[in-house]
Structure 1
Amino acid sequence: MFEPCLTDIEIILASTDCVFKINDTVRGEILIKVHREDAPLHHNGIALSAVGSVRLQLSEKDSSLLDQLFATVDPIEMMDACLELKPPGKLPIGTHAIPFAFALSPTVFHRSTYYDGYRAVSGGSGSHKLCETFHGQNVQVVYGVEVEIMRPLLSGGSISTGMCEFLVESRAEEEGVKRVEQSMPRKFALERFDETEEDLKTKKKKSTSKEEENSSDGGNANLKEFEIRGELSKTSYFIEEPIEGFVEIVSHPRNRKNQLKKIEVELERVETVISAEGTRSTESSAVQFTQIVDDGADVSENVRVPIHVTFPRLYACPSVAHATFSVGFAAKIIATFDDGVDDEEDGSSNAYNNSKTTFKKKSKKKKERTSSISIPISVHRAPENLGSGEKTIL
């Protein structure tokens, strides 16, 4: 039986926030601490692997069960680098620092690649353009490095650090900068409640009778139930700057029971994945909610409430369109109202058992109605010389 290896190995990147730009050189060093019990540490070589891939999956909401089981959605390998840091040999007791560097480009290195100072030589190149780091629902763009000390199995096996993830940011493109500079304000209005399942059932019943249908279309259908207007400063943004605009309550609902409860701005991501068979799957999911009108706040009519929403770093990226996937975003304004009707629910947890009878306590919950509008926006990377704008939050 062999004894477990106690050697510690750690990856330290030169960037303190682990963020690198595309086409930059990723630098760092490997710290290997060899303990007395392992000295000297014999190995068959020390290698570093750097990978970048796009992991895709079809949406469960927008695809059938057969598509999810049999559709082919292969990951996209954008970068696969393997650098030999040290040839076979042995490490004495103590701490050893081994520097490394590789270009952050769509390059495929082979294991035969040798490392000489800060220069890596390779014989191949990748065919996919690098994308920015993104963690979505069905699309994930991930980059990472891993170091392995290769050892025979009888000597305890290889020692690995596991995958150490780092973040990659794209550079500004001229077309994206022009689109942001030329973007115009976008006005919006909320005037009617969103249709619920009960509303759809009622509409089906009314459609069976022509008389009821004609009477319902006589003029009430076009009446405004309330009026909330607003404006976004533009529809194309730099990811470093916030989404800005305003919301103005022009008039409250005609029915005073439907009191305004809150107004939120939801940042939506729209992910599209295309399988090898041509199956197209699109899903919208919420990234974050920013509440601009609080519950219980007495907002007077014709008062402008500002909108200020920042992009979260890990869950947002510049808009991208690829042959097999795309990522876009939208700003959704949601107004929530109290319906004024108590919905009674049987609470089994509030049941009281007696030797003769059983009592169930009913809890009352306020029904809510919403009114929303979704505005597509495009996101781009700002030039490095742009001094204004806020940093995105992690």
Structure 2
Amino acid sequence: MATIEIKLKKANKVYREGELIRGVVAVTTKNELPHQGIALSLEGSVSLQLSAKSVGLFEAFYNSLKPIQLLEYSMDLAKAGKIPSGKTEIPFEFPLKAKQGKPLYETYHGVFVNIQYTIRCDMKRSLLSRDLNKQQEFLVEYKPDSSTSMKASDQKRVDFEITPQSLNQAKEKTGLPKFLITGHLDSASCLITEPLRGELIVEKSSVPIKSIELQLVRVETCGCAEGYARDPTEIQNIQIGDGDVCRGMPIPIYMIFPRLFTCPTLATSSFKVEFEVNIVVIFKDDHLITENFPIKLTRF
């Protein structure tokens, strides 16, 4: 039995455009291992898909959903020969450079949009032996650029006041309990490396409260000439208040943005990745209210 492992020099596997991706391919075998050549390839792509509810609406688009290639590079590590018994390490070096005319978007794992970068190693063997291969994902982040850095004017405090009359999504407002909830978000433009902060105060409520939650939502849009399919899905839900919280007491809003499942807000001609935060209040009588806040995520 023989195994292949791809080891990157960077332990966190995070790279930026223009950097060199260095590492080794480690082949471990008990006996001498003949092979027909070892090849390494670097790939980056955006995979798009439609939700089940949108497939019928955009049949033409559904049939043409092809991955968008951002990065493609290959090299031969070794010509046909033999690998000695034990552990053999073969070094490699790749430039991280996008295909001409294509940007390198940040790594992002979504439901309908997926941006992924991988290194793949293939060892070809004789017809009587099974080929060996291994795949390793690495992460891409934007490099600092003064033209895209967040300005102080973007970081404006967002004050809110939630009442039965302010709820847009409530169809039947007469059955809702009477309440007043105030508070603020420090900013609707957020650094992805920093937590979302703010505070919430339950000023009054005619019905006891069961729970107050903070929900992070991704809104993924895939589109073409036929139209656009926009699908929101939950990323994470954090409880910030348990039970009938004290009236007039500030409750901290604090949420860390999870890596891989978030990325800087992105808008292209064929897809978008946007984010929203919901403040969800659940009352003891099982009434549920939600206040929605679109937010913009940036790297710098």
Question: What amino acid sits opposite 2:48 in the alignment?
Answer: L
The reply to whether residue 160 of structure 1 matches residue 133 of structure 2 is: yes
Please state which structure has a larger fraction of its residues in strand: 2
Question: What amino acid sits opposite 2:56 in the alignment?
Answer: L
Q: Distance in 2 between matches of 1:375 and 1:172?
A: 27
Question: What amino acid sits opposite 2:196 in the alignment?
Answer: I
Sequence identity, in percent? 32
Choose which of 211, 216, 236 in structure 2 pairs with 1:262.
211
Indicate the residue corresponding to 1:151 in structure 2.
125
Structure 1 residues 262 and 152: CA distance shift in structure 2, 3 A:
same
Tell me if structure 2 keeps the 8 A contact 1:266–1:331: yes
The reply to whether residue 244 of structure 1 matches residue 197 of structure 2 is: yes
Tell me if structure 1 keeps the 8 A contact 2:58–2:226: no
CA displacement at 1:181 relative to structure 2:
5.5
Indicate the residue corresponding to 1:273 in structure 2.
222
Q: Distance in 2 between matches of 1:196 and 1:238?
A: 32
> Residues 89-109 of structure 1, C-alpha deviation per residue, up to 9 Å, x if partnerless?
2223232110011012214xx
Indicate the residue corresponding to 1:133 in structure 2.
107
Indicate the residue corresponding to 1:184 in structure 2.
156
Q: Distance in 1 between matches of 2:169 and 2:295?
A: 24
> Residues 48-83 of structure 1, C-alpha deviation per residue, up to 9 Å, x if partnerless?
01111111012334x252525754221101111111
The reply to whether residue 371 of structure 1 matches residue 292 of structure 2 is: no
The reply to whether residue 60 of structure 1 matches residue 75 of structure 2 is: no
Indicate the residue corresponding to 1:94 in structure 2.
86
Indicate the residue corresponding to 2:26 in structure 1.
31
Q: Distance in 2 between matches of 1:76 and 1:293?
A: 43
Tell me if structure 1 keeps the 8 A contact 2:209–2:245: no
Structure 1 residues 287 and 81: CA distance shift in structure 2, 3 A:
same
Tell me if structure 1 keeps the 8 A contact 2:215–2:237: yes
Q: Distance in 1 between matches of 2:234 and 2:17?
A: 28
Choose which of 7, 10, 20 in structure 2 pairs with 1:12.
7
Structure 1 residues 178 and 165: CA distance shift in structure 2, 3 A:
closer
Tell me if structure 1 keeps the 8 A contact 2:198–2:253: yes
Give the 3-state SS of the residue equivalent to 2:161 in structure 1: strand
Indicate the residue corresponding to 1:344 in structure 2.
none
CA displacement at 1:323 relative to structure 2:
1.6
Question: What amino acid sits opposite 1:133 in the alignment?
Answer: T
Choose which of 35, 38, 42 in structure 1 pairs with 2:34.
42
TM-score, normalisation: structure 2: 0.91
Listed as ranges, the matches of 1:328-343 within 5 Å are 328-339=274-285
CA displacement at 1:293 relative to structure 2:
0.5
Structure 1 runs not aligned, ≥5 long: 1-5, 108-125, 201-219, 340-367, 383-394
- Bigger radius of gyration, 1 or 2? 1
Listed as ranges, the matches of 1:182-261 within 5 Å are 182-192=154-164, 199=172, 225-253=178-206, 258-261=207-210
Tell me if structure 2 keeps the 8 A contact 1:272–1:283: yes
> Residues 21-56 of structure 1, C-alpha deviation per residue, up to 9 Å, x if partnerless?
2322111101112322xx2x3322211011111110
Q: Distance in 2 between matches of 1:283 and 1:8?
A: 41
Question: What amino acid sits opposite 2:116 in the alignment?
Answer: V
CA RMSD of aligned residues (A): 2.3
